Structure 1
Amino acid sequence: MYSNDIEVSVIIPYYNSEMTIERALMSVYRQTFRQPIEIILINDGSTDRSPSIVESFIRQHPEMKIKHLEQENSGPSRARNKGLDTAEGKYVAFLDSDDTWSPEKLEVQAEFMNNHPEVAISGTNYFINSDETTKYGQEENWIQADFKRMLFKVFFCMSTVMVRRSVMEKNRFRFLEGKHYGEDLLFFLQIVRRYPGARLSKPLAKQYKFLYGQGGLTQNLRKLLVHDLDNVRILYRQNGGNPVKIGFLLHKCLFVYSFLKHVVRLYKSRKYRKPVKGV
């Protein structure tokens, strides 16, 4: 059901996030955006103190519209889908429980989406581990994030993304449940196959995690490779009714490219592997 009051629904799934969830919530609270928003928190079966921290935040901020949902531990895809199913806003923004937003994030991004009604999904550049000297790209204002480009390059991370909810509902765009690596990229690609996307050049979020995962680095990179290839297979099968198709040759090239990305990730992981800064 659509609401005339809510401009942006903020979806935050969390699992055992007692060390970071309050920091994420405070970054939403400090937004300069003056239109009504709602926060949708989905507890993905946490066993630590994070649910009580969320409830404490809700009590301290009764002026904010906050929905606190629960589910058995099923992964972020199902949690985000649960959030999408209950969202009321014109736009939906996603925030991971261990990341934060710059204060102007929603204001800048919602204004961009309002000024570009053809854009169904937008993201922004971002900082890594609060290092504000590390930027992704120096382009002017924004660049187009289209399907073919995003097959070869990830244009934004989950915590920078804002989508137009009318497009999500019209097409029933959802995250593929049961997929634990690469589910975000597959979600992005399914949207930009049919609608324009954009990446704002200004960094408006901070990602507080190792770039390619903290525990079992090589194992995580191998999983990312497997799921990159799985995404290619899924997209290759999902060509019905879509004007942009992955041809057989491109399909094979993407397999080779995914292996090359794996090598690059191994190299970059050594470069960016830093301790996560405290809350």
Structure 2
Amino acid sequence: MTDVSIVVCYYNAEKWLEECIRSVYDQDFIGTIEFSLYNDGSKDSSYEIVERWRNLLEERGISVKLGGHSEPHPKGVGFAKNCAVRQSNGEYICFLDADDVLRKDRVTKQYEATKDNKNIITGSQIWREPEGSTVRFTEWANTLTPEQLYTQMFTSHGPTVVMPTWFCAREVFERVGGFNEGGKGVPEDMLFFYEHIRQGGSIQRVDEPLLMYRYHPEATTFSIHEDTIWGHRIAFFQERVLSKWSKFTVWNAGKQGRKFYRSISQHNRNKVLSFCDVDEKKIKKGVYIYEDSEEMPRPKVPIIHFSQAKPPIVICVKQALTSGSFEENLASLGLTEGRDYYHFN
């Protein structure tokens, strides 16, 4: 069995594929590497680029597995990723997107971090191209503490371990059952990540930027509707957090806090003690009435100042957008993340 399979699925990736493959060729890993590529019906020169590199890779000692189809339409990222993994045979799997680039020591660093744990997904820090893209997201992903990898997995940024940096034992993939193959518009990475956590899986991050995570408007991420992501996040949060709480407070009496309240089940809405906020106008109003509720009388939820909030708290305020004032207010309460509050922003 090969030590590590680097897996890539691609669809019309000719703009980036050359640089991606070169970064695989340049890996300094001293073990055995297999490169498994699956062509999801590309119509451009992507396949020709792969073929040009095939002999070079194999001369370098990197075995190459190729698969794909030529049907008129792509079958989707989840399907293609599953095919790329299942045609490979590495003991460990290193995921890579066709538009991203590996640092030359990525496989070495993540293999060393993962080899003693067959139930963990190991990620890494990233850098963005073009430089300065998604600054808030990049800072968030790169600076989460080991504890926050678990406590902040419900935020809108998605999995706390960025998917193109995933490295894991093949057992993780098999245990989860692969990626959802629903096609375009399905957040297959998020669903895989959630199922891994459900099954007691662990996560960690190598605190070095081992991947150039390219930002461009053609990225698959942009094909997934925000409401789809929201629905999966709500369901997972209710399952993992709200099911364990008898009462809680929602921080944000504005649009996002109200949307969260309306999205959770009636059972969980009945647990809400109050909304809390800093906005005097909202606090002066005194109450939020859920006008669209099927319950009669319609629920009325008090709105109070954040300093009066009773934990546990669901925070529906975006981080790093208030010049530090939100963070200062939260710190002033002396609460513990993961026990007294969770971010859902």
TM-score (norm 2): 0.61
Q: Structure 2 residue aligned with 1:208, among 209, 214, 219? A: 214
Which residue of the partner structure matches residue 18 of structure 2?
A: 22
Separation in 2, partners of 1:48, 1:12 = 17
Shift of 1:157: 2.4
Which residue of the partner structure matches residue 306 of structure 2?
A: none
Gap regions ≥5 residues in structure 1:
268-279
For the pair 1:184 / 2:182, whether they are aligned, the reply is no
Shift of 1:67: 0.7
Shift of 1:40: 0.7
Separation in 2, partners of 1:254, 1:231 = 18
2:115 aligns to what SS in structure 1? helix
Contact residue 182 and residue 224 of structure 1 kept, 8 A: no
Aligned counterparts, 1:117-196, within 5 A: 117=117, 119-129=119-129, 131=131, 136=139, 139=143, 143-144=146-147, 147-152=150-155, 153=157, 154-193=159-198, 194-196=200-202
Mark the CA change 1:255 to 1:192 in structure 2 (over 3 Å): closer, same or farther: farther
Contact residue 163 and residue 189 of structure 2 kept, 8 A: yes
Query: Could you tell me which amino acid in structure 2 is paired with residue 256 of structure 1?
Result: F
Mark the CA change 1:56 to 1:90 in structure 2 (over 3 Å): closer, same or farther: same
Structure 1 window deviating more from structure 2 (178-187 vs 39-48): it is: 178-187
| Large movers: runs of 4+ above 6 Å | 252-255, 261-265
For the pair 1:40 / 2:36, whether they are aligned, the reply is yes
Mark the CA change 1:228 to 1:139 in structure 2 (over 3 Å): closer, same or farther: closer
Q: Which has the higher contact order (CA 8 A, sep 6+)?
A: 1
- Of structures 1 and 2, the larger Rg is shown by 2
Which residue of the partner structure matches residue 293 of structure 2?
A: none
Shift of 1:178: 1.9
Contact residue 147 and residue 189 of structure 1 kept, 8 A: no
2:131 aligns to what SS in structure 1? coil
Shift of 1:98: 0.7
Contact residue 179 and residue 191 of structure 2 kept, 8 A: no
Which residue of the partner structure matches residue 67 of structure 2?
A: 69
1:57 aligns to what SS in structure 2? helix
Which residue of the partner structure matches residue 232 of structure 1?
A: 233
Which residue of the partner structure matches residue 99 of structure 1?
A: 100
Mark the CA change 1:203 to 1:224 in structure 2 (over 3 Å): closer, same or farther: farther
Structure 1 window deviating more from structure 2 (86-95 vs 223-232): it is: 223-232
Shift of 1:246: 5.7
Query: Could you tell me which amino acid in structure 1 is paired with residue 131 of structure 2?
Result: D
Contact residue 12 and residue 40 of structure 1 kept, 8 A: yes
Mark the CA change 1:65 to 1:209 in structure 2 (over 3 Å): closer, same or farther: same
Query: Could you tell me which amino acid in structure 2 is paired with residue 65 of structure 1?
Result: S
1:77 aligns to what SS in structure 2? helix
Structure 1 window deviating more from structure 2 (91-100 vs 168-177): it is: 168-177
Mark the CA change 1:191 to 1:61 in structure 2 (over 3 Å): closer, same or farther: same
Mark the CA change 1:262 to 1:177 in structure 2 (over 3 Å): closer, same or farther: farther
Which residue of the partner structure matches residue 260 of structure 2?
A: 256
1:59 aligns to what SS in structure 2? helix
Query: Could you tell me which amino acid in structure 2 is paired with residue 192 of structure 1?
Result: I
CA RMSD of aligned residues (A): 3.7
Contact residue 225 and residue 262 of structure 1 kept, 8 A: no
Shift of 1:209: 1.7
Contact residue 155 and residue 199 of structure 1 kept, 8 A: no
Separation in 1, partners of 2:86, 2:258 = 33
Contact residue 124 and residue 200 of structure 1 kept, 8 A: yes
Separation in 1, partners of 2:65, 2:40 = 14
1:69 aligns to what SS in structure 2? strand
Shift of 1:18: 1.2
Query: Could you tell me which amino acid in structure 1 is paired with residue 43 of structure 2?
Result: T
Which residue of the partner structure matches residue 272 of structure 1?
A: none
